[in-house]
Structure 1
Amino acid sequence: MMDGIDLHAFRLYWLMIWAVVGSGITPLIFDRRNRNPWWGAVTGLVVGVASGQIFGYGLLWVLYGPMPNLATWASMLGGLVLLIPLWFLIPAADKTHIQHRGFVAGTVTPLMFYLLILSVFPLLWAFILAFFDYSPREIGGPILGLGGNNPFVGLEHFQTMLSATRDGRTFRNSMGNTLAFTALVLPLNLMITVPLAVMIESVHRLLKPVFRTIYFLPVVTSSVGVAVMWGYIFHAQYGLLNNVFSEIGLAPVAWLQDQRATVLGFPAALFAVVIAYLWQDFGYNLVIFIAALQGISESFKEAARVDGASSLQIFWHITLPLLRPTILLTSVLTVISSFQVFDIIQVMTQGGPGRPDSSPTRVLVLDIYENAFRFENMGWAAAISVVMFGFIAVITFIQSRVLRTDWEY
């Protein structure tokens, strides 16, 4: 009767919609009737989800035959069947609360539910899949499709990462490229953004918004558009950069196609994607540093000038030390975003040039993407994501220990 309906998708819709509506509105009604709004959030969440699942399916089943187009939309109203009576039948309590928290409960609870479903659960699911040879093409056991043809393999995936197999070599190459990419991006980003933020803060106040806007524009530009633009700049035959080289008598470089080409000891393809990534990303840290500079009191600099300090001495001995908390923040954010680089590399090099186990631009997220969605080997992809998560956690911990400060200003 409902052969054309994806019930799994509709059950997810009913779950998300009525969990958010129930936990968002019910606390407000509880609060107005002098009842605990946090209990109202829990009650609305449970009732909304139950009503959405039961009556959403009921409406879909009853109406799909005579009115198939209307049935799908009407099923979205299933949560109201129990929520509306709940809202009207909540009795008022005699006790009056001094502080009403209905708005707080009705805002925090849906957001918490959203994070649990769309953030925490996928993390746990990825960790579980790392110990299974899981593929959506195979028929698994009754619990989340695990078992059966998706068997438990324990630490086999992690052992493969250290083996001489093709998957192991590809993983180690991807890990090395990701670390090299991050090692290039992080210092270059800081060397560009910190001095540039200081210079922008030194110009006339009417020009500051202009510079901030211009430098921040690449951040809000589509990554695919940025990759296509820089792909043309680095093109071997008609790229802008090679045209400039030809004009000044230098030999053209196959930046994105020649696996043997190097720049300053780094593969040319990796160097090219680093430049493209920096061009788009540095404006984000720049704005953060500008905001941090505005929070530094001018009294520190004025006292240094009275003592005869030069502008360079003020920068090294006052501005830069006071920026350490901000440097820590931007360093952590830059490392995380560098580990997650995907779209620019996917468009510019498709993970090439060369084989996956030797390509200079094959990174971890690209490896995860291809294994999960191209080869449908999600257990192996999940194991790679777990290792990547561990590396990010360790690097973030080291950064926090090295750059942390025990003082405030």
Structure 2
Amino acid sequence: MAAGAPRIFVSHLAGIAVFDPSGDQVGRVRDLVVVLRVGRRPPRLLGLVVELSTRRRIFLPMTRVTGIESGQVITTGVLNVRRFEQRPTERLVFGELLDRRVGLVETGEEVTVLDLSVRQLPARREWEVDKVFVRKGRGGAFRRGGDGRRVALPWRGGSGRRAGETLTVEWSAVTGFSLEEQGQGAESLLATFEQLRPADLANVLHHLSAKRRAEVAAALDDDRLADVLEQLPEDDQVEILGKLKEDRAADVLEAMDPDDAADLLAELPEDEKERLLSLMQPADAADMRRLMAYEDRTAGGLMTTEPIVLRPDATVADALARVRNPDLSPALAAQVYVCRSPDETPTGTYLGTVHFQRLLRDPPYTLVSSLLDDDLQPLAPDAPLPVVAGFFATYDMVAAPVVDESGSLLGAVTVDDVLDHMLPEDWRETEFDLTEEGAADGS
């Protein structure tokens, strides 16, 4: 959904259909999942609980929602069909937040929550609750219908009157929802960490006790935990993964970059590794097995299997659309690889690379096949780490294609993965002072 889109009241989402990009219905919305935050900060909307035609309820992250309009939800088409299980830090909007009593901050008056509105944050993919629709007075204003929709009821306070005045207020204008600062468990701690980058949060987790680290990891959503795990030392990764339920561990591995997930799986005992692979989506498991077949400190062991791959008849406009994907790292978004069909790794014949700067200089209708940098020799999958590092240093690259003997693109190595393997094992123990004071005194 485009940034700056109007707010949506959640009562309008109850029971609406969910469609894939082809227009096929995959299910209906049954609830929304939010995570509360410390003080009066609005909750984050994590995703939707969707009921499939089989009656199974699954979790659909908001990052997989491309549009909410005309009484329907459009998804990317990628669904994890494992049964939805609510986590300790999560709240269900319909099940737990609506129809409850809260207080108005300004007057202290008790009101009943009838509805909430959500909005997508400008220039970001995150969603949050921003408004609360409340009714003054006491009594239930709604009941839940058989299809999950809310049906208005007459006020039960006597004389046949409905409840009192209704009004829409900011989330911060009510009290009784948000986590208290002295709250127990990992919730308050998580809220404190929410604005940290994954690498900084990983540093915090690394220095916590094992018990506290497990509590925080259990409360993080899958995508956030995956991002953090990628930044942790291997010992911490193995420890945290081992304390998750196997189904969730498989979900987190799927959310990680394939090369990082493969490295983590390689550290596990064989029987545990096979159990987790059997729980993963077949395509993801196949990527993991393919990556684990290479030696650790080689181009094949370092590469990701998910670079941007385009066919020769793709245009600059097509390439830029793929580069704009906010889930891509800056290194992977720096260039696209042009290959003959099939365009999933391992691809058909690798033809060459088109750099992002070149894409910006040519008209949108230009074919990428006319812009190829085909003089740059790609890396072989068995190229050792010193050769890979030398390639990056020589050509000032941030990503490099990995191509096998048959000429098929297998993946791409990014400079961050090279650095991870060249730095000392204890480099994460170093404290970096990035404040202005630290920069001024040279610390």
TM over 0.5: no
What interval of TM-score do these two structures reach, taking the shorter chain for normalisation? Answer: under 0.3
TM-score, normalised via structure 1 length: 0.27
Higher RCO (C-alpha under 8 Å, 6+ residues apart): 1
Relative to its length, the structure with more strand (as a share) is 2
Higher normalized helix content (fraction of residues): 1
